[in-house]
Amino acid sequence: MPSPYRAIFGRPGTKSFSAAGLLGRMTLSMMGIGIVTMISQLTGRYGLAGMLSATIALSAAAIGPQISRLVDRHGQRRVLRPATLFALVAVAGLLLSAQQRWADWTLFVFAACVGCVPSVGSMVRARWAEIYRGSPRELHTAYSWESIVDEMCFIFGPILSIGLSTAWFPEAGPLLAAFFLAAGVFWLTAQRRTEPMPHPREHHTKGSALRSRGLQVLVLTFVATGAIFGAVDVVTVAFAEEVGHKSAASLVLAVYALGSCVAGAVFGLLHLKGHPSRRWVVGVCAMAVSMVPLQLVGSLPLLALALFVAGLSVAPTMVTTMALVEEHVPQAKLTEGMTWTSTGLAVGVALGSAAGGWVVDAFGAARGYLVPGTAGVLAALVAFAGYRRLRPQPTPREPGTPVAGSGPATVQRSDEPVR
């Protein structure tokens, strides 16, 4: 492991809570695609599969920030364990209703309750922020490491979920995802020494973290970004089935995550200057451009290559987003703020999954890649429109007070390097 990554694990407990976070986040990469695979195996209806995946994502979008707000007030252990138990019961109900071929509405009821799954990634990043607060280089490396962990989940999670559901029995993928969630959350919450201190209720009287104008831009952009991810998942499974290799979809999606993992590992080694808002806009635009080659592919090998290249822009953009969240959200609402970005992704995944499934059913898998392409354009437009909200604002000074060594009163430009 390169020295910057080795250095961040010098603090006690960091290896354990990061490992627990890896287990808990496997659910994120396995549940949605596992349900798509399960329903398509049982019914052959990609539209229904996409809508169920969308229901879970929308439910998580509505419930996730509320869970994280409670975590900021009461602590991770007191909130995450009961929320996880409720989600596990809902997963069990969803699998049973699918296996027994119950009415479609029962699938949607249980899918909505699965949204109680907590944002494990936000919980782990909040622990890093608590440990390395005031140490931006170490925190940048820690966020980059967690981005690598995210991509490791998306490399191996779909392979396990799709592979088990197609080779063993349809419900196997979501079932294993539920096991990983239980193991990860209960292991994480058992580690009390690194748990961030809860903040008393009086720190939350000013309302939601989403009142931040900068956070609003990040969340809206991530809705479009999430639509890219959701559509790519659904359409890739359908594309692989059309060419006669449905089980290979997991490998193709793993290559997408591998590209992001490689980029995140390199990004964490860099000591970057300048405000992160500029890097963030560049990253969002790169993600949009990377969707263009998907419209031209005609085989799984070419699709895998195009997705690897597309993945190179993902992790650096996510890491930069976490840095911007920390800058624009008060410390007492940090977990909630990080979860709002996940909420934006979840809403986008829901829309992208549903739109991707509808286009596949109506026009075929090849046309389905128009959905992530359109979502990429929307993400870039929102990022450009909201860029000014993310730039640092000049610190107010008394009128006529000069900056030391500058002669007349001046304000440091927001695009100058941060030393």
Residues 97-143: pLDDT tens digits? 888 888 888 999 999 898 788 888 889 988 998 888 878 888 888 88
- pLDDT surpassing 80 at residue 50: no
H or E element in which residue 228 lies: helix 213-242
Q: What is the rounded distance in angstroms from the CA atom of residue 403 to the CA atom of residue 386?
A: 29
Indicate the DSSP class of residue 265.
H
Contact assessment for residue 128 and residue 143, using Cβ atoms and an 8 Å cutoff: yes
- pLDDT surpassing 80 at residue 221: yes
- pLDDT surpassing 50 at residue 403: no
Q: What is the rounded distance in angstroms from the CA atom of residue 360 to the CA atom of residue 325?
A: 35
Q: What is the rounded distance in angstroms from the CA atom of residue 388 to the CA atom of residue 415?
A: 12
Phi-psi region of 364 (alpha: psi -120 to 50; beta: other; left: phi over 0): left
User: What confidence score (pLDDT) does residue 195 get?
Assistant: 86
Q: What is the rounded distance in angstroms from the CA atom of residue 157 to the CA atom of residue 159?
A: 5
**What are the boundaries of each domain within the chain?**
12-194+210-390
User: What confidence score (pLDDT) does residue 71 get?
Assistant: 87
Q: Which two tokens stand for residue 110?
A: 């249980």
Radius of gyration of the chain from its Cα atoms, rounded to whole angstroms:
21
Which are the contacts of 84, defined by CB distance < 8 A and separation ≥ 6? Answer: 116, 117, 118, 181, 182, 185, 186
Q: Pick 50 or 417 by higher pLDDT.
A: 50
Tell me the average pLDDT across 233-256.
83
User: What confidence score (pLDDT) does residue 399 get?
Assistant: 40
Tell me the average pLDDT across 204-222.
78
Q: Which of 165, 228, 178, 168 is nearest to 34 (CA)?
A: 165
Which are the contacts of 117, defined by CB distance < 8 A and separation ≥ 6? Answer: 27, 31, 60, 64, 83, 84, 87, 181
User: What confidence score (pLDDT) does residue 72 get?
Assistant: 82
Tell me the average pLDDT across 83-97.
92
Tell me the average pLDDT across 54-65.
82
User: What confidence score (pLDDT) does residue 200 get?
Assistant: 63
The burial of 291, by beta-carbon neighbours within 10 Å (0-12 exposed, 13-18 middle, 19 or more buried), is given as buried
Tell me the average pLDDT across 146-155.
83
Token match 């596990």: residue?
88
User: What confidence score (pLDDT) does residue 104 get?
Assistant: 84
At residue 3 the predicted structure's pLDDT band, cuts being 50, 70 and 90, is confident
- pLDDT surpassing 60 at residue 404: no
Tell me the average pLDDT across 89-100.
90
Which of the residue ranges 45-54, 176-185, 313-322, 396-405 has the most confident prediction, judged by mean pLDDT?
A: 176-185
Q: Which two tokens stand for residue 8?
A: 């961040």
Q: What is the rounded distance in angstroms from the CA atom of residue 135 to the CA atom of residue 317?
A: 20
User: What confidence score (pLDDT) does residue 74 get?
Assistant: 86
CATH topology of domain 12-194+210-390: Growth Hormone; Chain: A; (1.20.1250)
At residue 398 the predicted structure's pLDDT band, cuts being 50, 70 and 90, is very low
